[in-house]
Amino acid sequence: MKNDFIWGAATSAYQIEGGKFADGKRSSIWDEFCKKKNAIVNNQNGNKSCEFYYHYKEDIRLLASLNIKNFRFSVSWPRVMPLGPGFINQRGLDFYDRLTDYCLENKVDPWVTLYHWDLPQELEDRGGWTNRDIVSWFSEYAAIIVNRLGDRVKHWMVLNEPVVFTGAGYFLGVHAPGKKGVDNYLPALHHAALTQAAGIKTIRSACADAHIGTTFSCSHITPLNPHNIEDILAAQKTDALINRLFIEPLLGYGYPTSTLPFLNKLEPYIKSNDIENLVAIPDFIGIQNYTREVVSHSKFTPYLNAKIIDAKTRNVDRTIMNWEIYPESIYEMIKQFNRYKEVKEIYITENGAAFNDRKIDGQINDEKRVNYLKSYIEQVLRAKNEGLKVDGYFVWSLLDNFEWSEGYTPRFGIVHVDFETQHRTVKKSGKWYSNYIKEFQERNSSIVI
131, 132, 138, 139 alpha-carbon torsion, rounded to 10°: -160
Determine the 3-state secondary structure of 385 from DSSP: helix
Residue 429: DSSP 8-state = H
What's the pLDDT tens digit per position in 86-115? 999 999 999 999 999 999 999 999 999 999
Angle CA 414–418–420, to nearest 5: 155
Q: Give the mean pLDDT of the chain.
A: 97
What's the pLDDT tens digit per position in 215-247? 999 999 999 999 999 999 999 999 999 999 999
Q: How confident is the model at residue 446 (pLDDT cuts 50, 70, 90)?
A: low
Cβ neighbors of 159 (< 8 A, separation 6 or more) are 113, 114, 115, 165, 192, 195, 196, 199, 214, 215
Say if residue 338 is exposed, middle or buried (CB neighbours under 10 Å; 0-12, 13-18, 19+): middle
What's the pLDDT tens digit per position in 362-403? 999 999 999 999 999 999 999 999 999 999 999 999 999 999
Is the pLDDT assigned to residue 1 strictly greater than 80? no
Orientation of helix 367-385 relative to helix 328-338, angle to 10°: 30
pLDDT reported for residue 3? 64
Catalytic residue among 124, 161, 324, 332: 161
DSSP 96-162: HHHHHHHHHHTT-EEEEEEESS--BHHHHTTTGGGSTTHHHHHHHHHHHHHHHHTTT--EEEEES-H
Backbone phi and psi for residue 261, each to the nearest 5 degrees, phi listed first = -60, -25
Determine the 3-state secondary structure of 424 from DSSP: strand
Active site residue 161: yes
- Torsion sign across C-alpha atoms 157, 248, 393, 395: positive
Active site residue 350: yes
Domains and CATH numbers, the chain: 6-443 (3.20.20.80)
Backbone phi and psi for residue 242, each to the nearest 5 degrees, phi listed first = -85, -40
What's the Cα-to-Cα distance from 270 to each of 132, 195, 236, 265, 389, rounded to whole Å? 10, 13, 25, 10, 33
What's the pLDDT tens digit per position in 241-285? 999 999 999 999 999 999 999 999 999 999 999 999 999 999 999
pLDDT reported for residue 445? 78
Contact between 142 and 169 under an 8 Å Cβ cutoff? The reply is: no
What's the pLDDT tens digit per position in 307-335? 999 999 999 999 999 999 999 999 999 99
Report the pLDDT averaged over residues 76-80: 98
Q: How many helices and strands in the chain, by DSSP H and E? A: 16, 13
- How much of the chain is helix, strand and coil, in % rounded to 5? 45, 20, 40
What's the pLDDT tens digit per position in 408-428? 999 999 999 999 999 999 999
Prediction pTM value:
0.97
Please give the Cα distance from 168 to 185 (Å, whole number): 9
Please give the Cα distance from 113 to 11 (Å, whole number): 10
pLDDT reported for residue 76? 98
Catalytic residue among 17, 324, 350, 403: 350
Please give the Cα distance from 101 to 114 (Å, whole number): 18
Please give the Cα distance from 33 to 175 (Å, whole number): 8
| Preceding peptide of 329 cis, ω within 30° | no
Orientation of helix 90-105 relative to helix 134-149, angle to 10°: 50
Cβ neighbors of 360 (< 8 A, separation 6 or more) are none
